[in-house]
Amino acid sequence: MPDISITSLAFDLITGAFNLVFPGWCPGCDRIDHHGFCPECYSMLEPIDSDRSCKKCGSPGLPGFGGGGSLCPDCRTRPTRTEQSIASFKYSGPLSRAIVRWKYHDQRHLSSIFTGLMTDWVVLNAPEWWETLDFIIPTPQHPGTLRIRGFSPPDELSGQISKSFAIPLLPRTLYKIRETPPQARLSREDRERNLYESMCVFDGCLVSGKNVLVIDDVMTTGTTMNECARAILKAGALNVYGFVLARQSEYF
């Protein structure tokens, strides 16, 4: 049997050499020697207070809107199919830069950093319905998008959150059945037309009568989450909730 101290020393040397050649770096500012956000970038992250956000779509920061169980102007005028959606952080500053790198520049290793942020947020801010959840379903990617990107950001987030909170994961339940143009430059109305009936649950027995959490990376208008909820409710789910890493909004 090898001497434990020698084995430990060898491991430390190998780890030290690896870190010297491949140092950690902050995904927000590129500062090296940080595995995750550096202190400066971390201090610039903006957690969202769900108590001061819209009780339906989770949008915070509206002028003259105090939250506290109220609906934002958008949710007062258009149907929102999720029972409630929540978000960990505002899509701004170092977090927005890191998310772009993660999704579009082959930085898959950032998944663990983002799931850690979401997990910590839930520990501090979990809504009452969190304990009633039966399943987690990731927002689906069209196969064409998945081939180009190489991985699914919602799958990455959903898998770890499922493990952290012991909520069963249904990774291949909701499908995107037709490819749609990117949403980024579309108006709200065009987003809704773009995604309408683009998703389907192939086995409704899995979700029938269940409380389902849909996880995505970023929410802007809520159109994608709304379409996911429409398909899952149509398949017989009792309630659909949404949870995203970051929230974009025209209000901040």
Output the pLDDT for position 19.
Answer: 45
pLDDT in tens, 79-88: 889 999 999 9
Grouped pLDDT means (10 residues each) for the chain, 252 residues = 49 46 76 85 93 85 59 83 95 96 90 96 96 96 76 95 97 78 54 64 94 96 90 97 89 53
Task: Give the chain's largest Cα–Cα span.
Answer: 71
Output the pLDDT for position 106.
Answer: 81
**For residue 58, which phi and psi values (nearest 5 degrees)?**
80, 10
Query: Which residues, 6 or more positions from 121, have their beta carbon under 8 angstroms from its beta carbon?
Result: 47, 88, 89
Residue among 17, 173, 25, 43 at smallest CA distance from 101: 25
Query: Which residues, 6 or more positions from 141, have their beta carbon under 8 angstroms from its beta carbon?
Result: 149, 152, 154, 155, 176
Q: Give the pTM.
A: 0.84
Output the pLDDT for position 155.
Answer: 95
**For residue 90, which phi and psi values (nearest 5 degrees)?**
-70, 145
Whole-number Å distance between alpha carbons of 40 and 132:
37
Strands 239-247 and 211-219: parallel
Output the pLDDT for position 80.
Answer: 86
Whole-number Å distance between alpha carbons of 34 and 40:
11
* C-alpha angle 245-127-237 in degrees, rounded to nearest 5: 85
- Residue found by looking up tokens 């910590």 in the block: 120
